[in-house]
Amino acid sequence: MRTLLASAVGIPVLSIVLFALLEAVGGSKGFWGTVNRVGLDLCIVSIGIVGGMFLHKPLLDQLGPASPIVAMFVSLLEMIFAAVVMLVDKRWQTGTSQVKAYVSLFIGVFAVGLPSGIIMWVGGPR
């Protein structure tokens, strides 16, 4: 399962960090605007992680017959996280851009951590 964790989580998250750094250097959004965008990007990548996770046959075998229900539940939860990040970015009027960025980043990291935790919990040593 380490290979699944490295390929499904590690590589996408590292690429988000790389592109966030490149955008922070050359972008016009400023640091907190970039961090805010990273939170949304992490939510979007987490949806892909869930998709890849539930195409992995050994993981599906360990989940058993409940795997389609778990897949749908986690996918919808990840989409709700992305919607909350967009809501915070567009509609939340209280607080500074720094607070918005922290909230977005927290939700994005949690969104990536959820499927990562499922991979580690279900795919861990028995």
DSSP of 53-116 = HTT-HHHHHHHGGGHHHHHHHHHHHHHHHHHHHHHHHHH--SS-HHHHHHHHHHHHHHHHHHHH
Percentage of residues of the chain with pLDDT beyond 70: 96
The whole-number pLDDT of residue 9 equals: 87
* Phi and psi based region of residue 30 (left: phi greater than 0; alpha: psi -120 to 50; beta: remaining): left
State the Cα–Cα distance between residues 92 and 76, nearest whole angstrom. Answer: 23
State the Cα–Cα distance between residues 93 and 90, nearest whole angstrom. Answer: 8
pLDDT over 70 (residue 124)? no
The whole-number pLDDT of residue 45 equals: 93
Neighbours of 57 (CB within 10 A): 7
Domain boundaries, the chain: 2-123
CB 43 within 8 A of CB 87: no
The whole-number pLDDT of residue 22 equals: 87
The whole-number pLDDT of residue 106 equals: 96
Average pLDDT, whole number, for the chain?
87
The whole-number pLDDT of residue 83 equals: 95
Residue pLDDT, tens place only, 71-104: 899 999 999 999 999 999 888 877 678 888 999 9
